[in-house]
Structure 1
């Protein structure tokens, strides 16, 4: 009985299972196809996918199921498989009944031209006219033909007013053509007319996001998300969620961003965009290790995903992996030459790697103002005022001066505004009104010399300087102004002599000592600058300016401990002072100690009660170290506390560009221009943004329009040269730079002329460098640049002559000694070893210096002394691939072939490009043959 009962129970259970979905094997392929159709109607495409695959597994010839499977695959964001399924269908004898689906697949795969060809051949029976115009709009939009795309979208909307995709296409093309108000108005109208449309809300949210209306954008995008699951195909859902996550990161809604990242992974787990947004969330929380790991996997899987590689470079910079960051960012620049943020960050990385020539080869966008930069140039040469002036400000000052014509303060302010606006002749005429004053006004005299130099040339400015000295004699302010002028003109000995003569009569004058320190620093005489500052500090230990300048000298000479100690003492003595904690933060970021940097920055911000200028300086620190999220947060706080400050809006735009938030960046930069019309830094940033978006003609038109009112503005001409350089129009770039240099000669312009002539293979590339060095013999840093250019041109003897002149004037100039030793060695000059030892004695822990000495020793038969130096150099974290190659080659020469093979194998596996890669490969092959 027991057996019978058990059997009966089993039969009952079996019968029950056969009548439920658990025993689905009795369902026919046709029934599964019908289920799939119902699932599609309900918006459940994943269930439909399962049903269709099961149906086709049993009946591969169920053609209607295969066609529907292609539709479902396309909806789920897999156009490749959609096309594969469609291609399995028999070719029709007549018109293709699946032509519309094939067009949609082309669009999804970015095949815009083939899509247009199919549409031109399609009949109205195959694709309804309204939908044909819609697809035509998408294809034209993909090809960058925005105006034509808008016409197609309008035709589609006119033929079928219920087609929301066409309306959204009009919104997108309006925004692309710069009509942001019109785009937003139409998008808002769509949400009002179709409040249950996910696409309408997504369109409005995207436009609001471009306009930096973060809170409103987030609300609209959340509405879209709530409706999207059954309305938007997977690709659009992922795009919607990525925009929403980016907005939430901007608003610092980190938990909400994580929630939507989870939602994105449910829609498209493992997709490149999901991986990218995961890294963005990690970056926003300072988890750069996790971000780098995720981005590395993504870049390995998709090498052409430029945005992922760029963000990988950003995370590597934030972690301090500068060599790897340099490699990744170099590839970004190769893949996307118009990505100017990548170029700027790459230049900063190369400078940190002590590769100034590499930095010079990278085009750095002309969008920096240096108005609040506290680096050496500002401490020792003074701040440079940003180009341009607000017309309304000038009008206000003119009216005020008219009411109070004898106000020297108003005269100086108005003259400064004239000078900024390019009206130097007006500035000169205004400032000359005060020449009869018996008492010196340093601000007026310095500004007058500057204005005369611009309006009448250096010779007239020199005459004015002599007039100043004749009138005021050894007055400290007059001597300081004159010495500064001579130093900037390259006549350092004349400026130094003038100050020393004045100090002989008044040895305790602080202003003279500080001016002497600036001149000595300009001459690259760090010890002399230190001595002048120390004299000043001995006289006045509470002189904060002198203390901070001394910190810069300590840093320049590699005395990190001394600089830190001095700054910490200043911070302790005056916790409300902003400069010491900001400098400590800069030093912490240089060591990639983000936590310590954050502490100092927060201390400075709190001490200043969140002043706009301090928030701007803090943002710049983060910006320079590649921490764009933190920079953006600082600049946004700054614009909230000082909404009328154009500099904060400019820098907010720069941070947004760093995060590829082009829409918000454009809005921020345009806000800066509203506050300060015709402001060159903001115009330059917008011009480069247009170049980056592939609209070089718009960038040039923007500059040409400004040239109508400022035809002889050297900064504008230099900006024009920058844009032409990015567009690889080298003859035009050279012409623009030459025009700028003719008006106001500068070493930077000479360098840029050389670079574009070299890049464009134009004649006389070296001439601007040679001319500047002849006219400014004391400019040793520029002479070093000329020497390096000679090396790259194969003119080693001329390079040696330049380095010898530098060392003659500055015997302890380590980079020149090191390069000179290497050139001597290549020329088989017996002075090579002694010169290398001299450089090593001055900088015994620098890998490049150890490498030079070590290699010369090994190459000259003194391997016992040279090999340990090369080993130590190769073990340094900042060691280049070429240094590691020298170490491996030295091992091979000394018989340690197995160890050499190991080093070479690791080097070639980890470094894709370096100067000695071919030699390293050959050596590894030779060593392998000797095993």
Structure 2
């Protein structure tokens, strides 16, 4: 917004804002006064109020004189002596608006506007000056009629300026004419109408109205500036110079150059340059530079950086912008440009940080917003991206790019999201050239089981771009999923005919042949794909897999080697190559060859990880550690290498823990955590190791790390409960386990909580909890098994059998329920006892109780030798696990006597 009537209007506005508030503190009742000052004496408060009034008057005086620096100091003194009054804040904000620091004015007034109506007008002006028209409109919409009763004309003009910014010219004219009906002399309304004429190209009307206004307002600098703009647009440079010179002469002298003066000087310099009077133009350029030397230098640096950026010299532009950003960390333009450069260079972390810190979605360009959102999406920060785009769409609802990325962000989070699909459809309506969005929409419709709509999108995409590989892939996927083989074959053939040099067409054609079990056709298409693009890795892999299926091991191996020659980071190719050698019993040979390559070429870190995974599967921990160590030494950023390393170290840790070597188990686990420090599964393992090692305080510390990572998960409380339960601190264990249960009921928490309640002799509470467990997790067999066991212990066999049968109905492979039911069947002469006992044994062949049940049933059914063998295993298993072995030994002795 351009300031109106120079300092005269500013001074009037200040008086309107402040007059009614001046003496308010003097009439505050004593009790309220004491509450405000927190114990200050009545005299002290009165002195502060007087001091505030003195500074307010001084600030007003300095403003009239154009001494803004001194006025700012005085306004801050008003705030210092009367912090509960809005006077100082409003005065300071008005100054900020006048000198072009509207962002500072917003920061001051935004918190006040809800409490003090006097802050609304200057805050609205600040929003408009900052280009934040949506915020300005929202503020006006939420302002009551009572709040703007004393400033209706000014609010109406501000509303018109918002309409003008949104190119709603009819509404703007209507609002301004209404103002002029009430007050024909409102110069700001007249100027706004003239501005509409200039924007819409009606220069004659603008000149006419401005010339009429100049008759009685010949010293109004803003009016003269607008008249100069009309002359400049008509290329009447002499008139433009004359009006600008007059405007400059009538502007008041101020100690800080105002935006109005800056505009006049810039326009005057440009006009003189157009006239060929460069030396005169430089006078005004120097005036601007001398008024703000640091700002002038910063602007020159920024312009130089922008030129380099536009020329594609990103490195040089980045160096200039880094220096500028270090000098002026609040310079959002340099921050945004740095973010854009980082984005184009692929550094999403820096780009995301810089763009997030320096963009205002209400006023930033769609290009900057799109880049920021894409950086956040690539960093996995979809919530941030969506929030940014939603804010941007409030001010740019019809921007195709923002709608497109918004839709992509929503569908990336949830492919079935209806709002995301609507955003993409709107983006396509706004810009039909964005044909790649059709494929994304098609994926949405497929996920939503709207296949015909998906086909329509893909047909449109290929109609716009017959060589659209992505649309072809999605279309073939959909047709094959729906067994539409003939339609898929026809689509692939059409694509190949239209794009004979496109390898993707032959590759998709091969997929269709494979689905039709036409291996010859598939091979021919893959050969054509390779011929069309020698680097077509998918085609080579496909040929290798075909040869592998046909047991042509050497040909398959050669294709996989060809892939590796193109891309030595192809995990699939390395694994397939090993498999092709193993198929012909030459696995050791290829492992030796690949090991030599991995040991001599540090660039083959993916191969090292593949070999590490191979040796880990073969239980060769030493070689697995050796190769994964090589891979990690070469890179710390490859996802496959890191995932393999975590898996290997975690597996090793569990092996060592099973061998009761907790020190080495912890050491191996810490290697995994060095790679993935936020991995809650690894941290859970660490808690288990610390418990086993008796390091309870360390275990509790780790649970707090887990809580910080997943604050909404029950995991931390569950693990804390386990720590306390191990120490038999039952009340503490129960408290934490109950917290975990309340957050998210599951069987693991339930089992631990039931065990803690039982161990603490809370029999009644334990029984009530089992009922709750069954109610909240009705598909769980565990509460039924607990109840069945209780009935069995009490001799209620019929009730126990019924409960065990229900548990097996829910979980047919539950070894405990099968074993216990088998025993009850055996005791009751049910012939199904042996079948259930055998199934339980197959599921848990090392369980002493299950071995005893099955062995004893076999003995009693005549399979004595087989039963004795199982009973002997049961005794050994019971001894090693600490189970009471007496009953099993009795069964064994009886069986031995039957031989």
Pick the structure with greater CA Rg.
Answer: 2
The TM-score with structure 1 as length reference comes to 0.38
Q: Which has the higher contact order (CA 8 A, sep 6+)?
A: 1
